[in-house]
Structure 1
């Protein structure tokens, strides 16, 4: 938002920008949207023709980035690095991110992507809290993937809404290698290295299946009975439903991944059983395969809970035909990628799904 307010005077813009900071596109009147659209176009043109001194003056975020890399032109940013613009779920936030994306690309920097979460705006506390939970999950998964591919994670915490930045500082303490911050037009960059944070995960281990249900959005009587055993900071209640809070999600994603690599998930639904044979097979899988299998079992749990209204293409649960159908009734894909293996499922006389074994594609 500082880019808009800092260029407001230069571009003779008379509207109060902060009054519209939480507006979505639909909340603008046709006339007001036209006025802001013209202003946003002028902002992009101004940034594209400005020299580095002007850019650093109007954008504290870009100033911090330039100081971090010790460069004097956006063209000099490393082209092998990835740049993520996290913006609020608002009309101005979205457009500022698009402007920065265009400015970067027109300066030859193509590895840019934009990220947000629905309702990531401060006008509604409940929706904002829900949005932070979704964002926490998304960031935890994304950052782990980049980390596993050898990337160093840097959080630029300059600018933005204070309520979001305080959350990002917590995310950074768990998942970033370093955080950077600069005060407006200062050239003194504050660099905060990753601190050796150890989070007590006991509560997550003790109530592991409860957190799994909250994570999957499976609501039943068990949740209603057990949820209040958890510290209030770890969950949110919205319209009678429960979700893991943003702070809980940050820790849960770490606990979940580590645990999924070690042990096979127990069934949540009483309509699912796991055979002893599959339990033995699990022990022979490598940690990555164990993680994938447990995630697919979670997908199957959600599919059963929704009467198969949920059946993602990555799971591909379906009924079998041909000779194999005389032994197994269903199958799903236990691993991602080009893996030819399937998880075969029997169904007993009570309609219980028995996850029986992993095998090659049988016909």
Structure 2
């Protein structure tokens, strides 16, 4: 399966250069061009094949972790570098190495504005925010189920943001811990937050997002004093006004346009899965529902019949299992799970819900899927 791996990139590609880390920027700037600096840096590790000892002691942290992930020449690699010439040079050198040993692999290098170590305020207010924004754009462009976040290289301060983003978007994080040679995997975890508390101030956050900031006076007049502490991690407050922090932007994106749904099964669907679909070979209804809930593309590909009242029948593929579902905010409600070989090809006329709101009582309760299986 083709993977898209998004990596933060540091300067460990320069470890064989013989230049001290605090002198690397001057070394790059003294070259005739960025191309010359990249070629010179790449030459220090071009001939180092990706074997165990080289991975641990000679090659960069990004190459080490990508090899452990198991990349192929069909994968897409996105390298996120700092906004400094030394970090950008290292990212481009890593790109050349990947393209040299994995012919045909797709590699994109993106310089992130504000990502540097010289100004902590710029790093926090601009660098981390732009880092999160760019990853979110990548998640929208690719199937989230095929994305891996790799925060091994680059600034350690980005790791918690990357992990949290993976939790919110249902994306796996893989990284090499310190001097270890073992790839650590953080699977996509079910994470929820107090949406109601955030949505109560949705118009205010819409204005901040639209205008980039609001006045401190407006913020204080709009947000209850007792709730401001809850919002502290989500905003940046300065004499210029109130803006969204990196965490605030991430949470706002999740509220504004959630990309993942959470499956909830009716008592009828639970019985269908355990008493009927479980009898089929190679049928895993819970895995299928997780996949379509986590990806808009997977959901659209599985949509088989639109019943016109918010209800849809989903079809996994060339199989007999069918699922009657609807979407309610961030929930994927699963009403029934049936077998076409039992119900017949006209099952959608036989098993109908004419008024979901009126019929809901007879299907309740809807149980969150991880509490079912």
TM-score normalised to structure 1 length: 0.58
Higher strand share: 2
1:254 CA displacement: 0.9
Verify the 8 A CA contact 2:148 2:173 in the aligned structure 1: yes
3-state SS, counterpart of residue 149 of structure 2: strand
Verify the 8 A CA contact 2:80 2:109 in the aligned structure 1: yes
CA distance in 1 between counterparts of 2:234 and 2:147 reads 26
1:115 CA displacement: 2.6
3-state SS, counterpart of residue 49 of structure 1: coil
The partner residue of 1:170 within 160, 164, 180 is 164
Measured at CA, do residues 3 and 31 of structure 1 come closer, stay the same or move farther in structure 2, by a change above 3 Å? closer
Q: Aligned residue for 1:47?
A: 45
1:201 CA displacement: 1.9
Q: Aligned residue for 1:73?
A: none
3-state SS, counterpart of residue 174 of structure 2: strand
Q: Aligned residue for 1:103?
A: 97
Q: Aligned residue for 1:3?
A: 12
Q: Aligned residue for 1:124?
A: 119
Q: Does 1:136 align with 2:132?
A: yes
The Cα offsets for residues 263-285 of structure 1, whole Å up to 9 and x where unpaired, read as xxxxxxxxxxxxxxxxxxxxx9x
1:1-363 aligned at under 5 Å gives the runs: 1=10, 3-8=12-17, 13=18, 15-18=19-22, 28=26, 32-33=30-31, 40-53=38-51, 55-57=54-56, 58-69=59-70, 77-106=71-100, 107-131=102-126, 132-147=128-143, 151-183=145-177, 186-216=180-210, 217=212, 219=214, 222-223=218-219, 225-226=221-222, 230=228, 231-258=231-258
1:36 CA displacement: 9.2
Q: Is there any run of 5+ residues in structure 1 with no aligned partner, and where?
A: 70-76, 260-283, 287-363
With 223-232 and 120-129 compared, the bigger mean Cα shift is at 223-232
CA distance in 1 between counterparts of 2:134 and 2:35 reads 30
Aligned-residue CA RMSD (Å): 3.3
Measured at CA, do residues 182 and 258 of structure 1 come closer, stay the same or move farther in structure 2, by a change above 3 Å? closer
1:17 CA displacement: 1.7
Verify the 8 A CA contact 2:28 2:86 in the aligned structure 1: no
Measured at CA, do residues 252 and 101 of structure 1 come closer, stay the same or move farther in structure 2, by a change above 3 Å? same
Measured at CA, do residues 238 and 146 of structure 1 come closer, stay the same or move farther in structure 2, by a change above 3 Å? farther
1:239 CA displacement: 4.7
1:108 CA displacement: 1.6
Measured at CA, do residues 68 and 195 of structure 1 come closer, stay the same or move farther in structure 2, by a change above 3 Å? same
CA distance in 2 between counterparts of 1:249 and 1:93 reads 25
Q: Which has the higher contact order (CA 8 A, sep 6+)?
A: 2
Number of corresponding residues? 243
3-state SS, counterpart of residue 118 of structure 1: coil
Measured at CA, do residues 248 and 186 of structure 1 come closer, stay the same or move farther in structure 2, by a change above 3 Å? same
CA distance in 1 between counterparts of 2:143 and 2:93 reads 27
3-state SS, counterpart of residue 140 of structure 1: helix
CA distance in 2 between counterparts of 1:51 and 1:213 reads 52
Verify the 8 A CA contact 1:137 1:253 in the aligned structure 2: no
Measured at CA, do residues 176 and 33 of structure 1 come closer, stay the same or move farther in structure 2, by a change above 3 Å? farther
The Cα offsets for residues 135-161 of structure 1, whole Å up to 9 and x where unpaired, read as 22332232133136xx51211222321
Measured at CA, do residues 184 and 43 of structure 1 come closer, stay the same or move farther in structure 2, by a change above 3 Å? farther
TM-score normalised to structure 2 length: 0.56
Verify the 8 A CA contact 1:153 1:176 in the aligned structure 2: no
CA distance in 2 between counterparts of 1:36 and 1:234 reads 37
1:89 CA displacement: 1.2
CA distance in 1 between counterparts of 2:107 and 2:29 reads 32
Verify the 8 A CA contact 1:155 1:179 in the aligned structure 2: yes
